[in-house]
Amino acid sequence: MQQRENAKNPKQALQVRQSSLSAWQIGARTAGPKTVHLKSAQKHEKEKQQSASEQAGSSTQNHLEQALTYFERVKDYIPLRKNEVLQKHLATVESIALQRGLSPEGLNVLLNVALSGHLADTVNSRILKCLIPASVIAESSVVSAVSWLCVGKCSGSTQLLFLRWLIAMFDFIDHKEKLHALYGFFFCSLQDEKLGMQPHLQALLSLYKLFCPELVSITLPAKMKVRNGLILPACSTDTNNPARSKEINHVDILSHSESFPVEQLHTFSQLLQNIHRLEFPSQMGSVLRNSLLLHYINCVKDESIYLRLYYWMGQTLQEECTWYKLDNQQYEEEFKDFLDIVYKTECFLQEGFSSCEEFLYKSLPLWDGFCCRSQILRLVSWIPLSSFSEMKPHLCEPLAQLFFTSSLYFKVIQVLLSFCLTLLCILKLMSCVNVVCFSDCCSRNTTLSGLLNSVAELIHFVGWISTVALRLENNATFLMYFILDFYETVCDVYLKYNLPLLVMPPPGVFYPALLSMDSVSLNQLCYIMYRYRTNLVAAKENELIKKTILQFKFSSQTYQEYNQYIMAMVGCLWTSSAFQKDIHPQGIRLDPEVLKKTRVQEVRSSFNIVHHPALMGYAILFLQQAWPEDKTLNFNLIKGRRWNWYLEYLYMQGLQGLKLFIESSINRVSQPCYILILTSP
């Protein structure tokens, strides 16, 4: 061990005091008695304070010296239990390290004792966690510490903690020439059963293999950064000549010897001027808060950055997850802030992180549905596209359990909206990428049909939980509004997102909306069916003129299901034959004998636009305005020309969805009116 700094010499201090006393005596002869006494008191007080400060600093330094000497002399195994001396010196080192850091010599002593295996793992862990440098870390100390790993005296958990400390403190090492020669040892450590394929070593090895693949023969897990559903290949300019591509990559890496520190990056113009020589920070957490660096990530296809970000974020999410900890209250707010930062980053990049997806898949089955609720469900909306068979057990089913057992507000504002946002993100993603990119590059679904099937299954799943939720909540209007809002997105997938996908709402959603007592829900349903028709007509025309979108066709079952719903709607709202002509297997068709037993007058017209519970209020207002002297409210007056007047009155009240549906689905020119049925091409 190098010589540590000694305390001040008492003789020198005595000489200083004697010199000061002589000077004071000389000054005292020339000054008056009052001045002498005042100056003497001030001088004495100042010297007293300095003496106390020096004594405190000297005492702290002495305690640290004693502790380091104690650890330096450890040669055999020392247990922690009932060892007051060890506990005292350990507490001293921890306290001083947190206050002002440790000198390079002190770090050297503590590294050696922590990795020598002479102390318990709990003590080694506490020592490694308090190795905070006051200035720098000597490279020789790191090399000496690595040599202890070769001896194998310490446990695997201690070795892992040391490697993590080394990665975190890498920038504080004064020289790295000798350390570079030890990279081979770190990579070989992956084959150690005690270490295994740890994320920290995988991160280092993945970066090393990216730049020098010929030097790394170890097989890594197939985890690649997926951007917008596509695997980004390594940067290359000549795919036909692998040797040439490798040469270009190596030359490109080595050509920019002069790097641009990220601390000097303040404007977007600086980013554009120095984008090829930007020195990325070693701490990936700082990247998420820097919009300029996020622009850099979005523009530059540097796989090393994505690998570093992948491993760092995955490990941070796992360690900071509050419901994995017993006392999680003090950590919850910090974890919320971190999740908010991750979500904002995903929104900025317009893509989800695969490490965040893996975290959600692992943690949602253990989630209570309350802790960090809004943050977790917002992250769900950015889960990268994958097969529904993978999403269902890890994502959909845990959310469904929370959905069915939670309040109406949670059903609507949290889970249902998260599914809607997920669908929107997926549709926007798929609409921006052509078939070739998906079929060539997608890692989980090799064809576009597989991706479309996954989206269709997700929509069916939302339809299923919506059906159950409407039954549980007695067809609550608030819940129905958000369910129909979801299907306003679904019905326009073909035209709005240029994708050959149309999924009809389930009967458990369609019929409660059709028979709803709320005019907003009925108007929404009419608009949705109008958009379904518009999309199906466009698909049919494109198929007939051989201009199909992405060369896909809708099945005849889609047209059949649409026509069944149209028959039911027109039978209810227009022809007053809802219970006779509904042909849907789960529809509202009833036998005439059953209808007679209800003893309801004019039962056939009970759901047309005049008598429908959702529109009856408008009919009453229309009668009061048209015949103010008639107090009987005779609904039979609304027929013939008055029927048309009543329609115009409904349109003026803002029921534009009803207007679009009637004008597009009913032929009113001929008598009797006909339903416009669609047939598959």
The pLDDT score that the predictor gives to residue 203 is: 63
**Which residue, 561, 543, 570, is CA-closest to 676?**
570
| Spatial separation of the C-alpha atoms in residues 428 and 421, rounded to whole Å | 11
Spell out the residues 6+ positions from residue 301 whose beta carbon is closer than 8 angstroms to its own.
232, 235
Residue 395 confidence (pLDDT) above 70:
yes
Residue 104 confidence (pLDDT) above 90:
yes
Residue 558 confidence (pLDDT) above 50:
yes
Structure confidence at residue 508 as a pLDDT band (50, 70, 90): very high
The pLDDT score that the predictor gives to residue 208 is: 66
| Spatial separation of the C-alpha atoms in residues 643 and 639, rounded to whole Å | 4
Average pLDDT, the chain: 75
pLDDT in tens, 400-414: 777 777 777 665 555
Strongest mean pLDDT among 288-302, 345-359, 629-643, 651-665: 651-665
The pLDDT score that the predictor gives to residue 357 is: 85
Partners of 133 in beta bridges? 102
Helix (H) or strand (E) holding 653: none
The pLDDT score that the predictor gives to residue 45 is: 64
Structure confidence at residue 528 as a pLDDT band (50, 70, 90): very high
DSSP track, 524-561: HHHHHHHHHHHHHHHHHHHHHTT--GGG----HHHHHH
DSSP track, 467-504: HHHHHHTTS-HHHHHHHHHHHHHHTTHHHHS--S---P
DSSP annotation of 9: P
Mean pLDDT of 180-194: 66
The pLDDT score that the predictor gives to residue 615 is: 92
Query: Which stretch of 59-73, 272-286, 593-607 has the lowest confidence by average pLDDT?
Result: 593-607
Residue 31 confidence (pLDDT) above 50:
no
Residue 468 confidence (pLDDT) above 50:
yes
Mean pLDDT of 155-162: 86
pTM of the predicted model over 0.75? no
Residue 320 confidence (pLDDT) above 90:
no
Residue 374 confidence (pLDDT) above 70:
yes
pLDDT in tens, 475-506: 889 889 888 988 998 898 888 888 888 899 99
Half-sphere exposure of 27 (CA within 13 A, CB side): 14
Residue 255 confidence (pLDDT) above 60:
no
Q: What are phi and psi of 78, to 5 degrees?
A: -125, 120
Does 42 or 603 have the greater pLDDT score?
603
Does 410 or 14 have the greater pLDDT score?
410
Mean pLDDT of 514-541: 92
The pLDDT score that the predictor gives to residue 447 is: 62
Q: How far is CA 432 from CA 301, 350, 670, in A?
A: 19, 12, 44
The pLDDT score that the predictor gives to residue 41 is: 58
CA-based radius of gyration for the chain: 38
Please provide the distance, in angstroms rounded to a whole number, between the alpha carbons at the two ends of the chain. 88
The pLDDT score that the predictor gives to residue 14 is: 38
Please classify residue 1 by burial: count the beta carbons closer than 10 Å to its beta carbon, then call 0-12 exposed, 13-18 middle and 19+ buried.
exposed
The pLDDT score that the predictor gives to residue 497 is: 82
Residue 549 burial (CB count, 10 A): 17
pLDDT in tens, 289-307: 888 888 888 777 777 777 7
Q: Which two tokens stand for residue 83?
A: 């060892």
- pLDDT > 70: percent of the chain: 69
Mean pLDDT of 188-207: 60
Q: What is the largest CA-CA distance in the chain?
A: 130
Asked if 528 and 487 touch (Cβ cutoff 8 Å), the reply is yes
Strongest mean pLDDT among 76-85, 220-229, 273-282, 617-626: 617-626
The pLDDT score that the predictor gives to residue 353 is: 86
The pLDDT score that the predictor gives to residue 679 is: 66
Does 552 or 22 have the greater pLDDT score?
552
The pLDDT score that the predictor gives to residue 221 is: 53
Indicate left, alpha or beta for 121 from its phi (over 0: left) and psi (-120 to 50: alpha): alpha
Q: Are strands 226-227 and 230-231 parallel, antiparallel or unpaired?
A: antiparallel
Helix extents (H) in 169-216: 177-180, 183-188, 199-211
| Spatial separation of the C-alpha atoms in residues 677 and 636, rounded to whole Å | 29
| Spatial separation of the C-alpha atoms in residues 232 and 235, rounded to whole Å | 9
Strongest mean pLDDT among 66-75, 197-206, 408-417: 66-75
Does 223 or 659 have the greater pLDDT score?
659
Does 508 or 350 have the greater pLDDT score?
508
Sign of CA dihedral 475, 477, 482, 486: positive
The pLDDT score that the predictor gives to residue 513 is: 94
Cis-peptide, bond into residue 505, ω within 30° of zero: no
